[in-house]
Amino acid sequence: MHADRFFSADPTIRKLARNLYLSVKNQPIFAPHGHVDPALFSDPNARFGNPVDLFIRPDHYVIRTLYSNGIPLQKIGISPTDQKVEYDPREVWELFCSQFHLFRATPSGVWLTTSLSDVFDIEQKLSKENAGITYEILTEKLSTEEYSPRNLFDKFNIELLATTDSAADFLPHHQKIQISNWKRKIVPTFRLDSLVHLSNPGWIEEIKRLAANSNIEINNFNTFIQALESRRIAFQRLGATATDFSAESAYTEELSPHQVDEIFQRALKGRVDQQDASQFVAHMLMEMARMSAEDGMVMQFHAGIIRNHNTALFQQFGLDIGGDIPVIVEFTRNLRPLLRRFGNHPNFKLILFTLDESTYTRELAPLAGHYPALRLGPPWWFNDSLNGIERYLNQVMETAGIYKTAGFNDDTRGFCSIPARHDLWRRQAANWLAGLLARHVIDEEDANQMMYELCIGLARKAYNTESNEDGNPV
Amino acid sequence: MHADRFFSADPTIRKLARNLYLSVKNQPIFAPHGHVDPALFSDPNARFGNPVDLFIRPDHYVIRTLYSNGIPLQKIGISPTDQKVEYDPREVWELFCSQFHLFRATPSGVWLTTSLSDVFDIEQKLSKENAGITYEILTEKLSTEEYSPRNLFDKFNIELLATTDSAADFLPHHQKIQISNWKRKIVPTFRLDSLVHLSNPGWIEEIKRLAANSNIEINNFNTFIQALESRRIAFQRLGATATDFSAESAYTEELSPHQVDEIFQRALKGRVDQQDASQFVAHMLMEMARMSAEDGMVMQFHAGIIRNHNTALFQQFGLDIGGDIPVIVEFTRNLRPLLRRFGNHPNFKLILFTLDESTYTRELAPLAGHYPALRLGPPWWFNDSLNGIERYLNQVMETAGIYKTAGFNDDTRGFCSIPARHDLWRRQAANWLAGLLARHVIDEEDANQMMYELCIGLARKAYNTESNEDGNPV
Amino acid sequence: MHADRFFSADPTIRKLARNLYLSVKNQPIFAPHGHVDPALFSDPNARFGNPVDLFIRPDHYVIRTLYSNGIPLQKIGISPTDQKVEYDPREVWELFCSQFHLFRATPSGVWLTTSLSDVFDIEQKLSKENAGITYEILTEKLSTEEYSPRNLFDKFNIELLATTDSAADFLPHHQKIQISNWKRKIVPTFRLDSLVHLSNPGWIEEIKRLAANSNIEINNFNTFIQALESRRIAFQRLGATATDFSAESAYTEELSPHQVDEIFQRALKGRVDQQDASQFVAHMLMEMARMSAEDGMVMQFHAGIIRNHNTALFQQFGLDIGGDIPVIVEFTRNLRPLLRRFGNHPNFKLILFTLDESTYTRELAPLAGHYPALRLGPPWWFNDSLNGIERYLNQVMETAGIYKTAGFNDDTRGFCSIPARHDLWRRQAANWLAGLLARHVIDEEDANQMMYELCIGLARKAYNTESNEDGNPV
């Protein structure tokens, strides 16, 4: 990996970018939104398993690239839900290495290469030829204590790691970490999806789990809300400062108590239709905002994605095999009811994420540039990439200003990709600032302070962890 | 301010850009669309007031940045409509200066810094520390005749300044200027919004004002149109060459005379609903086109914005405190009825503006690259920025060609920001042409002529003031 | 024409780009989608006619630029359908040359200049002054055998040229070429538009032509499909590997056999409405996919364009005078029924084209990055340009990977513009790769192999002509 990777080819910008990057290189990683499994850290003896379990099977970016290029899922160790397929991890790894050209110029390729290099000292590009030796090296290292999740957590210099957890969850791993001697900040995030999307097959089981874990009998909408509020307190006790929710549309609407309870009762009886489900989401967004305004938890909203688009694959293999596809999303009209009530509220913070980049200049930056309650999250998912970050910075910052954004988060399932992802963001942010500096849009003082903010300052503030503030000016 | 600011860091492009920029640096400013108050010029003794009145309170870009970062409007001297708040301009200025980092890398930051430097010789970046001294300097200068609006008009080398005025307006300031000895071109623009949006609270008062100022009793749609036509003549007599209108949607439709009169009659009785209002706008766009085809006034249309999105703030503070938010806009289908009738008309010119950049390559450039009547306006509002201009040039010009665009206009309320805004456009246009030249897409002759056109030639032609043409080729 | 044209001004990138470009400069042209008239090649003695017939009258890019700038179509030799206008080609050429500034910085300008230079050795920029001499040179050359279509075909080093032909067509020219001694690959493409858009005026005649040429009596939907399947075989015998279809929307839906036959019967009686027409298109997209999955022909789909938007001009002059305008298009929801059935099919390939660039990152790249059946076509029409190609590469490749794209095709009516268009693509692709290389996102091995793929490898594979594969790795 080249020391100046991702910086502009222009020597003036490259030099400025390198210096800005180096000024924050040793800042800790602040990871307020992601999907790492907390079980990796609750057991001091946990290990990552084999290279396929670490790099391929859990990574839906890798899965989709291989699958879309004609490789059946069974060949990379993924079983249909009703039939366990045996696989030889060595063979899967060889197949993966032989197809590594598919990842050329993709963010997955960059993260994989950076992780292999920085975490495992594997400097060669993966190929059919070196599949055997790289498998050996990885397997050996992964078995050692040096490469245990807890040791890597410290090696990665992580200040805070937020996981994503169902609001119905009892959070045993977070509890175990909290009472252990291992004093690191691994906090849960209050995720509402499984409890709010009424037409999800598992909804009623999630409600039962919520009832059990909150110790509240849920038989109407009011008790549902009470149970959620009770769990919010439990999450906060374990360090949570944020909630999360994802939906196809950003539509918000306040229903009457009677209306919403009728929908909820129908759902309990398994009789909701599509309109019920949409209206319930619209109303629950209002409730989430109300609860956040009251208890101060930061509300995150990821809008505009159709889950399990590939019905055939979903029926055979279940969730998370790469069939989630973005759709057009509209914020200006849809969020108006919510912003009318809570957009000016001093105690409310809403962080918005989008996969529809056409909303950056048209809707999101103007909205965040006006409403005190709004912050814009970093480029999400497919757009967390070299070009995606550049587009985000160029399209959002002029109108919103950097201070209305939430810095960076990695949103990853792959623990070992965390340093690579933050490094990519820091390099691109440095490069962007270097361009502004070279064109005399900002001066050096501006650039240095903005670099710190983009690296870690903004994220700390956005997620209400300002007590970690190291004194840099805002 | 660096002499090469905003030019590419690449030395080849920078040098070419600088030379192109210098070739037009002394061209006068042609400002065919904006919102400067004509009263500043009708009274030879007018002054700009204090620094807060000049730079903060009237600038909705500044207001929204401060407000969105948690600063209450009252703290920057803005009063709720029902309650006059006293404020100390010195304190407001200090607050503003202490928060100047919020404007980093924003166009507002660039305009403010350029205006302070070029107009007031204040070279320091604003900060809490220099708030006192900068307030003193500005206050002193603003009281002198040298800094009177009329003197700055000449200092800025303005060839033409168009204001924006309700079609119902009597235009006393323009009349006063016209009969004065001060022979400068300050012309009105015939703005139709307040008379066409039937559900606006003040609509009926505007109709009464239109009736009074046109001396035509308005009791049906026909007399309404007669009154408008009469006012068009009055505006033209005072130098107006253009009309303007803004709406949420670009929907056009020709109603029958009976239909439209029924809607108008309902409006007179205060009984219009949302559909009436939309249909009336759709029909009035057809009428505006018809009148322009007949009298030759250039029609401007700014589409795709929801006014006063923040209802709570609007109810408390009224208009123009930053709560206008763009929405998706569609031109191809919506403008078809209008273009079918007038798009090939040799006497008709329609200049389109958008905040939805996804329409640049998809709709606007193809439409302007086909219909003789169309011109594309420069990047509007939030997109009048370094990156916004670059996106506009890169996304519009290949398909429309520069000759189907309307050059630049500043669209500003802030008179002192006019030179800064035109300078930014000229620099970015020079930089864009330099890039094309360096990549051998155009040659030097092309670049020089295009530079002149983008700077001033296209705007003069688009707004039918070709008699000002200085002989440069088209 | 400068040898380094279109490469970055940055010396590092320029050098890398030049080397990458030179590595594929001698690769043949593979042109799997376009609109060249096959009659040019079936007759060994065919000639191109005069310069106006070659460069102006058939080129709807040139027509729209001139028309949109106020030049009546009659002045450039285009007649209303009901009235033949005489014109002097010399005068038309002079008018065109005198207006050549209109093409500054447009792709048309680049293609024209490159064709004149590379094919006809005319190095001067066209102008009023050199109109006479350039007309002379062109006329003289066009009359010689050296400039015959067949000779230029070889001079251009074309490996394969696909034309576009109605599915109802008898393909006499392709047949004549196939049985001739001139062994070049000019293959038809099975285009369905005229048979599937039921409300087209000529639909019933096309059905009759299809019946005649397939020798199948068409009196219901089943026989219509049988006739199409019969013609698919005939097209394949003449080398066709692909079908094509264009529609306003990407909506797909499977109708019941009864429903679709009812619509078809209404169409035969001339009684379809707009909803019938839309539903029929939606169902036929499913049928096209089914037939492609069965016979292995590659399905191409160009979505999101309103044909003949300028009704007035269409009524007077007919098709193809530049009045086709893009509209918003939605793929994620609309293609779901089709992808559910055929998206995972191992024998099915669907190449998607769009004019709505907002779908690149939001819909198309995620879809192609998941479904094995999908490929993304190159930037289409207005976006086949310097900036359009750059946006495409930057917005599509990170998520889809280059291996899910279909390389380049020129989509041109103008035979002499083919080398210019492929050259532009190759230069921009080289420049893009050079940027990635300079920023250390890819290494040299990657860059070289990707250059080959983007130049010709991906197109060969996408259109199932892999037997031409020269051994380069995939």
Give C443-458 pLDDT, tens digit per residue.
999 999 999 999 999 9
Q: List, for residues A202-233, the tens digit of each pLDDT value.
A: 999 999 999 999 999 999 999 999 999 999 99
Q: What is the dihedral of CA C310, C314, C317, C321, to 10 degrees?
A: 60
| Any domain includes A474 | no
Q: List, for residues C192-249, the tens digit of each pLDDT value.
A: 999 999 998 899 999 999 999 999 999 999 999 999 999 999 999 999 999 999 999 9
The answer to whether B391 and B383 have CB atoms below 8 angstroms apart is: yes
Taking phi over 0 as left and psi of -120 to 50 as alpha, with beta for the rest, B345 belongs to beta
The answer to whether B143 and B131 have CB atoms below 8 angstroms apart is: no
Residues 6+ apart with CB under 8 A from B91: none
| Confidence at B472, pLDDT banded by 50, 70, 90 | very low
A270 with A341, same domain? Answer: yes
How do strand C186-187 and strand C158-162 relate by DSSP bridges?
Answer: parallel
C186 with C284, same domain? Answer: yes
Q: What is the pLDDT of residue A338?
A: 98
Is C332's CB within 8 Å of A312's CB?
no
| Last residue of one domain, picked from the residues C98, C113, C145 | C145
pLDDT at residue A468 above 80? Answer: no
Range of the domain at A20: 11-45+149-468
CATH number of residue A313's parent domain: 3.20.20.140
pLDDT at residue B319 above 90? Answer: no
Taking phi over 0 as left and psi of -120 to 50 as alpha, with beta for the rest, A189 belongs to beta
Is B313's CB within 8 Å of A404's CB?
no
The Cα A139–Cα A120 span in angstroms is 11
Chains interfacing with C (3 or more CB pairs < 8 Å):
A, B
| Any domain includes B358 | yes
A133 with A249, same domain? Answer: no
| Confidence at A85, pLDDT banded by 50, 70, 90 | confident
CATH number of residue B56's parent domain: 1.10.2020.10
Gap from C386 CA to chain B (nearest CA, Å): 8
Is B65's CB within 8 Å of A442's CB?
no
Instruction: Please state the pTM of the whole predicted model.
Output: 0.97
A113 with A231, same domain? Answer: no
Q: What is the pLDDT of residue A473?
A: 34
Is C369's CB within 8 Å of A65's CB?
yes
Q: What is the pLDDT of residue C101?
A: 98
Which tokens belong to A41?
């850290």
C51 with C30, same domain? Answer: no
Q: What is the pLDDT of residue C47?
A: 95
| Any domain includes A353 | yes
A384 with A290, same domain? Answer: yes
Is A382's CB within 8 Å of C398's CB?
yes
Which one of B10, B13, B342, B370 would you mutate to disrupt binding with C, by most C Cβ within 10 Å of its Cβ?
A: B370
Is A9's CB within 8 Å of C435's CB?
yes
Q: List, for residues C33-78, the tens digit of each pLDDT value.
A: 999 999 999 999 999 999 999 999 989 999 999 999 999 999 999 9
The Cα C393–Cα B269 span in angstroms is 57
C197 with C66, same domain? Answer: no
Region A51-58: what's the mean pLDDT? 94
Counting DSSP H helices and E strands in chain B, the numbers are: 22, 11
| Confidence at B283, pLDDT banded by 50, 70, 90 | very high
Determine whether A451 is exposed, middle or buried from the number of CB atoms within 10 Å of its CB (0-12, 13-18, 19+): buried
Closest CA to B172 of B270, B264, B37: B37
Rg (CA), chain A: 22
Nearest CA in chain B to A331: B327
Gap from C432 CA to chain A (nearest CA, Å): 11
Which tokens belong to A412?
């990853």
| Any domain includes C2 | no
Is C69's CB within 8 Å of B404's CB?
yes
Residues 6+ apart with CB under 8 A from C415: C36, C40, C48, C149, C152
Domain count, chain A: 2
User: pLDDT exceeding 90 applies to what percent of chain C?
Assistant: 95
Nearest CA in chain C to B441: C105
pLDDT at residue B470 above 80? Answer: no
Nearest CA in chain B to A342: B312
Q: List, for residues C114-160, the tens digit of each pLDDT value.
A: 999 999 999 999 999 999 999 999 999 999 999 999 999 999 999 99
C314 with C420, same domain? Answer: yes
Q: What is the pLDDT of residue A467?
A: 56
Q: What is the pLDDT of residue B473?
A: 34
Q: What is the pLDDT of residue B201?
A: 85
| Any domain includes C4 | no
Q: List, for residues C326-348, the tens digit of each pLDDT value.
A: 999 999 999 999 999 999 999 99
Gap from C438 CA to chain A (nearest CA, Å): 6
The Cα A160–Cα A451 span in angstroms is 19
Q: What SS3 string covers C125-167? A: CCCCCCHHHHHHHHHHHHCCHHHCHHHHHHHCCEEEEECCEEC
Query: To the nearest whole number, what is the mean pLDDT of chain B?
Result: 96
pLDDT at residue C474 above 60? Answer: no
Is B1's CB within 8 Å of A440's CB?
yes
The b-or-e profile of C457-470 (16+ CB within 10 A means b, else e) is bbbbbbbebeebee
Count of Cβ atoms closer than 10 Å to residue B219 Cβ: 12
| Last residue of one domain, picked from the residues C117, C145, C173 | C145
Q: Which residues of chain B does C4 touch, with a Cβ-Cβ cutoff of 8 Å?
A: 440
Q: What is the pLDDT of residue B1?
A: 83
Q: Which residues of chain B does C106 touch, with a Cβ-Cβ cutoff of 8 Å?
A: 397-399, 401
| Largest distance between two CA atoms of chain C | 66
| Last residue of one domain, picked from the residues A101, A131, A147 | A147
Nearest CA in chain B to A473: B101
B137 with B277, same domain? Answer: no
Q: List, for residues B132-161, the tens digit of each pLDDT value.
A: 999 999 999 999 999 999 999 999 999 999
| Any domain includes B375 | yes
Which tokens belong to C366?
């995620």
How do strand A325-326 and strand A305-306 relate by DSSP bridges?
Answer: antiparallel
| Any domain includes B473 | no
B325 with B385, same domain? Answer: yes
Is B101's CB within 8 Å of A403's CB?
yes
Q: What is the pLDDT of residue C85?
A: 86
The Cα A321–Cα A72 span in angstroms is 12
Is C401's CB within 8 Å of A322's CB?
no
The secondary structure of B121-147 as a DSSP string is ---SPP-TTTHHHHHHHHHHHHTSGGG
Q: Which residues of chain A does B313 touch, with a Cβ-Cβ cutoff of 8 Å?
A: 344
Is C69's CB within 8 Å of B372's CB?
yes
The answer to whether B203 and B195 have CB atoms below 8 angstroms apart is: yes
Closest CA to A385 of A421, A433, A434: A421
> 3-state DSSP call for residue B245?
strand
The Cα A450–Cα B340 span in angstroms is 51
Q: Which residues of chain A does B4 touch, with a Cβ-Cβ cutoff of 8 Å?
A: 440
The answer to whether C272 and C266 have CB atoms below 8 angstroms apart is: yes
Gap from C99 CA to chain A (nearest CA, Å): 35
pLDDT at residue C471 above 80? Answer: no
Q: List, for residues A289-313, the tens digit of each pLDDT value.
A: 999 999 999 999 999 999 999 999 9
| Any domain includes B128 | yes
Q: What SS3 string covers C255-299? A: CCHHHHHHHHHHHHCCCCCHHHHHHHHHHHHHHHHHHHHHHCCEE
pLDDT at residue C472 above 90? Answer: no
Q: What is the pLDDT of residue A472?
A: 40
B430 with B371, same domain? Answer: yes
C318 with C179, same domain? Answer: yes
The Cα B424–Cα B414 span in angstroms is 15
Closest CA to C360 of B273, A456, B17, A326: A326
Q: What is the pLDDT of residue B467?
A: 56
